[in-house]
Amino acid sequence: MDLEKLFKPKSMCVVGISRKNPLNPGRIIFLKNIYEMQVEVFGIHPDGGEVEGAELYTSLEELPKVPELMVIAIPAEKTLDYVQQCADFNIPGCIIISGGFAEIGGEGIKRQDKLIKIANDNDLAVLGPNCIGVYSPPLLDTIFMPTERITRPPKGTVALISQSGGVLVDQFFHKFNQINIGVSTAVSIGNRAVIDETMLLEYFSKVDKETSNIAFYLEGFKPTRSREFLQLARESEDDIIVYFGGLSENGKKATKSHTASLSGNDKILKAALKQNLIVQPSTELELLTTLKLLDILSRKKKPFDPNTVLHGNVAILSLSGGHGVICADLLKKYGLSAVDITQKEQNEMKRFVNPSARDIATFQNPIDLTGSVQDKDIENIIQYLSQIKRIECIIVLILPYTPSLSFQIGRRIANVVSEYKKPLVCFIPYIQKYGMIIEALELSNIPVFHSIEEAVQGVSVLKKRTRIMKFKGNSSS
Amino acid sequence: MDLEKLFKPKSMCVVGISRKNPLNPGRIIFLKNIYEMQVEVFGIHPDGGEVEGAELYTSLEELPKVPELMVIAIPAEKTLDYVQQCADFNIPGCIIISGGFAEIGGEGIKRQDKLIKIANDNDLAVLGPNCIGVYSPPLLDTIFMPTERITRPPKGTVALISQSGGVLVDQFFHKFNQINIGVSTAVSIGNRAVIDETMLLEYFSKVDKETSNIAFYLEGFKPTRSREFLQLARESEDDIIVYFGGLSENGKKATKSHTASLSGNDKILKAALKQNLIVQPSTELELLTTLKLLDILSRKKKPFDPNTVLHGNVAILSLSGGHGVICADLLKKYGLSAVDITQKEQNEMKRFVNPSARDIATFQNPIDLTGSVQDKDIENIIQYLSQIKRIECIIVLILPYTPSLSFQIGRRIANVVSEYKKPLVCFIPYIQKYGMIIEALELSNIPVFHSIEEAVQGVSVLKKRTRIMKFKGNSSS
């Protein structure tokens, strides 16, 4: 099956376009791709006519050329006829938005079995049914929510594969915009009757050149396919992230009705993912932190060596005692520990700090430079800590309300990181006023987070990645 | 000691104003209170003169009247002279911003002991030293960060008491603006040489009429004072929230250097707080969720009866299967459970949903009305669930990207809640586009959160409150 045509078609046709209802999914997909995306689009309606000035053809035969992809958004009972036409016309790919298959049981299961047979007999790449399809900027977008309702992430290098359309649009699309990372291709697999997560893992890992990290939302592996998935993940040069829903008892009940897949035993699954070098975030927040950090490490301009070994030994640099304490409290939860700083080192650091901060600052770990800190002090201390080998990563907690700190502090921290290449993660409150500082750090690809917990999570991702690189033989560098 | 004069003084004087350095803390406090706050302000400088057009007096004797409060922001060694003057002139309150006391050891400890003696001998209410003081809108603000650097929360009913100035400004002030709740008075206690958390708990609980909830950031109780604190908390009609830093091993090391207080055994502390009806959030996120929920319940216009009993039995109403699953997964972590919905109830609910959603929706808990949902369906189902007694709270997960949902959905949900008074908590993504929906819910005081986890945390706060009310005999209603 030629998956590439699903994601990078030169031309496509849409069936199931309402000429009357502006909220009809087929119509939204048709118009969205004409006016917002680059793929060549043909609309099909048995009665012909037009919608908003765009011509509709009565059938496949009428089209000026055979398209490379068909998007089907008609009631379930009429779907298979069009799928058969794809096979007859040698159209290589087909996305079925329509529901009414295995997820409704009974008749739907039979319909899905027939669908699978047509696809396999004809080597037809079928995505869905019961899905929201594909977002592959700048070419293609079958996600049938009106443009004014959703937020689309920018082009980037994360491939997203989701068993839930809602999770794809909300937990990924919305949040990616907020945390400033982009998508190579996003795929909603729906009932995954034909194309499943394992085939997509193989495609994005081995074929697609635009993808660096591959993230999944799954509520269970497709039956009989987990072994191959795990094997592919282990061998992949990309970072593989799987966020699992439905692992709790309440969640399991929910997934049975929702996607009819079994998620099996939580602990066994967790161990299998870890063994096969898959990162498994356990909360919404950790999912995004993980993706953000891995995305930064896959960019061309890297803030520090992405292959730095990190066992978990960190130094915390704060300007507020309380923030240092809260950060220190979180280390153990994320498998990290605070490096002991010797009395000699403490005395040396003291010399690098301005006189009014010097006597009230503390140089144990967490280091608290206090509200009397100046830009130069932070530069000096980061430089000093960068040269201590047993410190593998520095967490800097910046609170720019302190008057003696300038708004150039972001740029100045970035300069030190670019010189010493020591892994460093920043916390800074998310406030419009601090935008200049945040931007300067982000432009230099320094990981910036807006809660202390995310900053600590970010460092824990570096630790997880050290283990993964060890087994993958640093091939992902 | 007359604590009220610290928070609601009619007049005050500031000592330690630099005439040259615009970033000098005393100067910032002086000018900020003249131009932004309502208290009458006098500045003192031994050489007189003026700053930015505001007159400076050479000494206390020169002032046209004896002020009710003195704010001291001069080097430590000169501090005690001014404290003694407060006593001599019968000024009832004094805030010492300056550091250089017990926190630096040696000489500083002796200085602090002298300070305590002056305060106790003269019944002088001394706040600090080594603190950022008080924010008591619209009267008084001694927080010496320049106005352009920080975000101040609006006037509200939460009293904040923090052992860390940084935590007060960042974790409370910044975030309160984001989550739309306000502050009655905020107090940074610093070294708490004289006035400590226990005295403030008593004041805000028994004297201050503007406060409904009292929240603390502490790194340990002041030695010998914990018993009284716990007793007062137990008897208070207000909700008491304590967020503890420094309970982990790493955190304990940090607090020893930071505030020289011992946090004792984590588990014993946790049990003591629970036993004395204090809410103890365990993360930054949970702290804010807790404060937001308790704040809503203390407002005049209540969305539902704040004394509703909630043992933890919830129904989840979603428009996306994946969101329902993620929400169900979180229930157990927060001590909640999903109510079983009978087949009969499921069949009944089906009738209340539009035909295109009816056959693809699932009515088990979590209920998934799918992307084909319309406003009326959500109204109907919330009405139906509101009448099932064993459902104590409804979690509604709104995803307004689905085209058949209107942006009036916020108002429509609020109307149903106001009719049935069933506790209900919403999740809705935080996107500018959805602002209208969020606003409509917030105006009706429906708790709205922007991650699924916060919504679940919100419900868990209702459960904790049920237990607290039981022991406090519903006195806080």
Contacts of B149 in chain A (CB under 8 A): 400-403, 433
User: What are the pLDDT digits (tens) for B260-307?
Assistant: 444 557 888 899 999 999 999 999 899 999 999 999 999 999 899 888
Residue-level pLDDT at A260: 45
Distance set, CA A164 to CA A189, A225, A287, B49, B324 (Å): 8, 19, 16, 69, 10
* Lowest pLDDT segment from A380-389, A390-399, B26-35, B252-261: B252-261
On the question of pLDDT at A475 being above 50, the answer is no
CA distance B84 to B94: 10
pLDDT tens profile B7-17: 999 999 999 99
Contacts of A170 in chain B (CB under 8 A): 320, 323, 399, 401, 429
Spatial distance between the Cα atoms of A242 and B32, rounded to a whole number of angstroms: 51
Among the partner-chain residues A248, A322, A400, the one whose CB lies closest to the CB of B217 is A322
With residue B184 as reference, give the H or E element that holds it. Answer: strand B183-188
Are B162 and A322 a contacting pair at CB < 8 A?
Answer: yes
Q: Given B99, B254, B400, which is nearest A149 (Cβ)?
A: B400
Contacts of residue A332 in chain B, CB cutoff 8 Å? Answer: 248-250
pLDDT grade for B147, boundaries at 50, 70 and 90: confident
Mark yes or no for CB contact B368/A258 under 8 Å: yes
State the amino acid at position A132 in one-letter form. I
Residue A340: which pLDDT band, with cuts at 50, 70 and 90? Answer: very high
- State the pLDDT at residue A398: 96
Pick A320's closest partner by Cβ from B149, B167, B359. B167
B173, B250, B369: best mutation site toward chain A, by most A Cβ within 10 Å? B250
B223-244 pLDDT, tens digit per residue, is: 899 999 999 999 999 999 999 9
| A434-457 pLDDT tens trace | 999 999 999 999 999 999 999 999
Interface pTM, i.e. ipTM: 0.93
The helix-helix angle for A452-472 and B284-297 (nearest 10°) equals: 150
Chain A: closest CA distance from residue B107 (Å): 13
Task: Quote the CA–CA distance of B445 and A197 in Å, as a whole number.
Answer: 42
Contact list, A249 vs chain B (CB under 8 Å): 332
Task: Please state, in angstroms and as integers, the Cα–Cα distance from residue A422 to each residue in A129, A351, A415, B143, B428, following that order.
Answer: 48, 22, 12, 35, 39
Task: Give the pLDDT band of residue B360 (cuts 50, 70, 90).
Answer: confident
Q: What is the pLDDT of residues A102-112, one digit of tens each?
A: 988 899 999 99
Say if the Cβ atoms of B151 and A431 lie within 8 Å. yes
Chain A nearest CA to B445, separation (Å): 24
Q: What is the mean pLDDT of chain A?
A: 93
Reply yes or no on whether the pLDDT at B74 is more than 70: yes
CA dist B185 → B23, B153, B230, B265 (Å): 25, 10, 21, 30
- According to DSSP, residue A205 is labeled I
What pLDDT, in 10s, does the model give residues B155-170? 999 999 999 999 999 9
Which DSSP helix (H) or strand (E) runs through B317?
Answer: strand B313-318
Model pLDDT, residue B306:
80
pLDDT above 90: residue B458: yes
Residue B347 has a pLDDT of 97
Q: How far is B133 from chain A (nearest CA, A)?
A: 14
Q: Residue A322 is which amino acid?
A: G
Residue A330: what pLDDT? Answer: 96
Average pLDDT over residues B382-410: 95
A477 falls in which pLDDT band (50, 70, 90)? Answer: very low
> pLDDT by residue (tens digit) across A250-285?
888 888 655 544 455 788 889 999 999 999 999 989
* Cβ-Cβ contacts under 8 Å, B337 against chain A: 250
Q: Which residues of B touch A320 (CB under 8 A)?
A: 164-167, 170
> Considering only CB atoms, which chain A residues are within 8 Å of B320?
164-167, 170
Percent of chain A with pLDDT strictly greater than 70 = 97
Chain A residues with beta carbon closer than 8 angstroms to that of B257: 362, 364, 368
Tokens of A266: 């939580």
* Nearest CA distance, B326 vs chain A (angstrom): 6
B153-208: per-residue pLDDT in tens? 999 999 999 999 999 999 899 889 888 899 999 999 999 999 999 999 999 999 99
CB atoms A452 and B284 under 8 Å: yes
Interchain CB distance below 8 Å, B250 and A332: yes
Q: Which long-range contacts (CB under 8 A, 24 or more apart) does B198-204 make?
A: B198/B222, B198/B225, B198/B228, B198/B229, B198/B232, B199/B1, B199/B3, B200/B3, B200/B159, B200/B161, B201/B161, B201/B229, B201/B232, B201/B233, B201/B236, B201/B240, B202/B232, B203/B3, B203/B4, B204/B159, B204/B161, B204/B238
- For the question of whether the overall pTM of this predicted structure is more than 0.90, the answer is yes
- Quick one: what percent of chain B has pLDDT higher than 90? 83
pLDDT, tens digit, for every residue of B81-124?
A: 999 999 999 999 999 999 999 988 899 999 999 999 999 999 99
Choose the closest CB to B23 out of A25, A250, A403.
A403
Q: Is A337 exposed, middle or buried (0-12, 13-18, 19+ CB in 10 A)?
A: middle
Facing residue for A167 by CB, picked from B144, B322, B330? B322
Nearest-angstrom CA–CA distance, A85 and B110: 91
pLDDT of residue B260: 45
Mean pLDDT of chain B: 93
The per-residue pLDDT for B356 is: 87
Which residues neighbour B448 within 8 Å (Cβ) at sequence distance 6 or greater?
B425, B426, B427, B428, B438, B441, B442
Question: A182 near A188, Cβ under 8 Å?
Answer: no
- Chain B residues in contact with A218 by the CB 8 A cut-off are none
**Between chains, do A362 and B453 touch, taking CB under 8 Å as contact?**
no
**Chain A interface mutation, best of B325, B406, B432, highest count of A Cβ atoms under 10 Å:** B325
pLDDT at A264: 58
State the pLDDT at residue A306.
80
The pLDDT assigned to B241 comes to 97
The pLDDT value recorded for residue B39 is 98
Establish whether the linkage from the previous residue to A146 is cis, with ω within 30° of 0. Answer: no
Q: Which two tokens stand for residue B225?
A: 């004072």
Dig out the tokens for B433 from the structure. Answer: 């586009």
Residue A323: list chain B partners with CB under 8 A: 164, 166-167, 170
Whether residue B258 has pLDDT greater than 70: no
Q: How far is A62 from chain B (nearest CA, A)?
A: 31
